[in-house]
Structure 1
């Protein structure tokens, strides 16, 4: 059985994507549209977008695992998968679920796409994928 691989930084995730890992963004469709998305096309592989919780409402996505399989993530393949959310919290659950299904090694990206709020209560400027200047685009 595959073991949960743990946490990595956004920079480590980007380097892994450049080396062939798959990035799965588990934020909501609203976040993808309004906040932006990682742009992994320069690394040769577009990200996979699957909500961990649905919007609106925040209910768990009952078809999450099925959608992972439909996106081509194959149990037992041993291809690294890095999971991204807003701040690195939802993606932990997604990475662990993928691990339980034999997908991965599966990693959680610390600080996510936007990181925790800064002293002014804003996200995206102090930590996370965007703040580090990693490739992204408006959804």
Structure 2
């Protein structure tokens, strides 16, 4: 059985797609707090900006019930290639599934997310993810 979305890609594959496709869009689905305190991707060298749409609301962690509508306002063309990013690749996978179900044709999940999985000491930022891949990012 195939995945209910375009599939998982590495951060480096995401960067390559963003470089080669002028219309591809990265959507960061983390919370406002994560954007401000942990950092964000920096696509300025590609002359692009990423979009910020919470999957879960901060504070409280409640599901953003208008997520699909929020994305649709920002990206009305459902053939646009979407690359979904969160902290570790879990929320972004659910977001990719939801957007695919809503009619978007190509929604990828960036595996490892922005900070990556926990290491042996339960710290992020050492195993995988956007930052570990050495891709551009900036502090809020």
Fold match by TM threshold 0.5 = yes
CA–CA distance in structure 1, aligned partners of residues 113 and 10 of structure 2: 9
Counterparts of residues 89-128 of structure 1 (less than 5 Å): 89-128=90-129
Task: Calculate the TM-score normalised by the size of structure 1.
Answer: 0.92
SS in 2 for 1:132: coil
Q: Distance in 2 between matches of 1:104 and 1:131?
A: 29
Post-superposition Cα deviations, 1:66-104, rounded to whole Å, max 9, x if no partner, equal 1101112422xx221100000000001100111112223
Q: How many residues matched? A: 135
From 41, 57, 60, give the equivalent of 1:57. 60
Q: Rate the CA distance shift 1:18–1:74 in 2: closer, same or farther, 3 A.
A: same
Return the match for 1:36 from 39, 42, 61.
39
Q: For structure 1, list consecutive stretches of 5 or more residues without a partner in the other structure.
A: none
Q: What is the aligned counterpart of 2:50 among 41, 47, 50? A: 47
Note if 1:69 corresponds to 2:72.
yes
Does the 8 Å CA contact 1:18/1:44 hold for their aligned counterparts?
no
Q: Which runs of 5+ in 2 are unaligned?
A: none
Offset, 1:18: 1.1
RMSD: 1.2
Alpha-carbon distance in structure 1 between the residues aligned to 2:61 and 2:39: 19
TM-score between the two structures when normalised by the length of structure 2: 0.91
Question: Deviations along 1:10-58, whole A, 9 cap, x unmatched?
Answer: 1001111112310000000000000000111211220000000011111
1:132 maps onto 2:129 in alignment:
no
